[in-house]
Structure 1
Amino acid sequence: MEPCPTPVRPEAIVVGGSAGALNALSTLLADLPDEFTVPMVIVLHLPRRKPSVLAEVLSAKAGRPVREPQDKEPVSSSMIYVAPADYHLLIDQGRTFALSVDEPVNFSLPSIDVLFESAADVFGARLVGVLLSGASADGARGLKAIEDAGGTAIVQAPEDAAMSAMPNAAIALCEHACVLSAKEIREHLLRLAGSDRA
């Protein structure tokens, strides 16, 4: 297992997960301190064609607003964004969001790979990618793209995840991924973001 690096302060954090990831997300976001200002963008696999209450659920955990971004909206500091159901969420070169109704990727819409790969193109080494519990391989290729761009790749430890398929797929692809429990991921993100409450 790679030791987790402590690179320059990231400009964005992208997080992906599927089955079982909500518990890990709740740990990551619990009562975030005010000084945690790095924007966080989350893709969680959601039931198709149903309204999502994920933003409201996560907002209650984080103690700050969580919302679905609009097309062409700039990525703003201190914000937590979640991908809307039935859209791929991308980050464009102008550091603005883009919504796409292209075909599912890895049977998923939104797809974690789509977000991770687009964010890697924009933020490069100043990006942190986090892949949590899930039952598919979505996100592994995107996390590899983040690693290849010089960013930091973090995977929830398979033994800590409710569903280990997604973490295992990422570990197999990403040579330098940090493998941590959800609690350790939270502590690491707080350190990277410059908080003293790690």
Structure 2
Amino acid sequence: MQPTEPASDRFDVVAVASSAGGIHGLATVLGALDAELPVPVLVVQHLDPRHRTVIADVLRRRTKMGVKLAEDHERTSPGTVYIAPPDRHLLVRPGGLLTLTDSELVHFVRPSADLLFESVAGAYGPQAIACVLTGTGRDGAMGVSAVKSRGGTVIVQDPQSAEFSGMPDAAVGTGMVDFVLPLEEIAAVIRGLVEAKRQ
């Protein structure tokens, strides 16, 4: 960032959360983004920890972005998707340093969207975008409130278009949402937001 720019003038990270139905949702959003995206994308998708996950392989075939399971103490790069491994919380620190933890479940899940979003809010403040896609339960609702309270931007999949509406409904119910969009329109809004201040 140039020192003459106000901190809120650009976005530096996108965090996405999904659960049931989320592979299709993630493939749709990430498939419409490309490796030129000037920010990293951090993803929490609720996965069964009893099985080896192939989510990175599946999504890699759907997007031009780099896709990988996040690693502890890894630093993020633009145009790359970092997915929380099964049964590990994914957090980010200032400067894009990732941390994985196996601390207790949050709302019965690990990884937790709430923890990711809260860490994004703390590390990036108004430079963060949080996005909630299809899923059951309430994970992500507390986190979007944290992102919004720090000046970030919140996008939620329209619950009526979501395969499972629990997570989007809970997020919308916070009253802290900037955009409620059909799944197919989310990527264009993300691109517009992150590229607008870089012209």
Shift in Å at residue 94 of structure 1?
Answer: 4.2
- Answer whether contact 2:144 2:177 (CA < 8 A) is retained: no
- Answer whether contact 1:40 1:80 (CA < 8 A) is retained: yes
Taking the aligned partners of 2:175 and 2:140, their CA distance within structure 1 comes to 11
Identity of matched residues, % = 37
Equivalent in the alignment of 2:116:
115
Equivalent in the alignment of 1:76:
77
Shift in Å at residue 174 of structure 1?
Answer: 3.1
Superposition CA RMSD, Å: 1.5
TM-score for both structures, normalised by structure 1: 0.90
Determine helix, strand or coil for the equivalent of 2:39.
coil
Equivalent in the alignment of 1:188:
189
Does residue 102 of the first structure (1) align with residue 122 of the second (2)?
no
Which structure 2 residues correspond to residues 1-198 of structure 1 after superposition, within 5 A?
A: 8-30=9-31, 32-194=33-195
Q: In the TM superposition, what whole-angstrom CA distance separates every residue of 1:51-73 from its partner, at most 9, and x where no partner exists?
A: 11111111111123200121111
- Answer whether contact 1:171 1:177 (CA < 8 A) is retained: no
Shift in Å at residue 22 of structure 1?
Answer: 1.7
* CA shift in 2, pair 1:33/1:175, >3 Å: closer
Runs of 4 or more consecutive aligned structure 1 residues displaced over 4 Å after TM superposition: none
Instruction: Write the letter of the residue equivalent to 2:154.
Output: A
Shift in Å at residue 35 of structure 1?
Answer: 2.6
Determine helix, strand or coil for the equivalent of 1:91.
strand
Unaligned stretches of 5+ residues in structure 1: 1-6
* CA shift in 2, pair 1:33/1:65, >3 Å: closer
Taking the aligned partners of 1:33 and 1:168, their CA distance within structure 2 comes to 29
Number of residue-to-residue matches in the alignment = 189
- Answer whether contact 2:35 2:66 (CA < 8 A) is retained: no
TM-score for both structures, normalised by structure 2: 0.90
Taking the aligned partners of 1:20 and 1:160, their CA distance within structure 2 comes to 11
Unaligned stretches of 5+ residues in structure 2: 1-7
- Answer whether contact 2:138 2:171 (CA < 8 A) is retained: yes
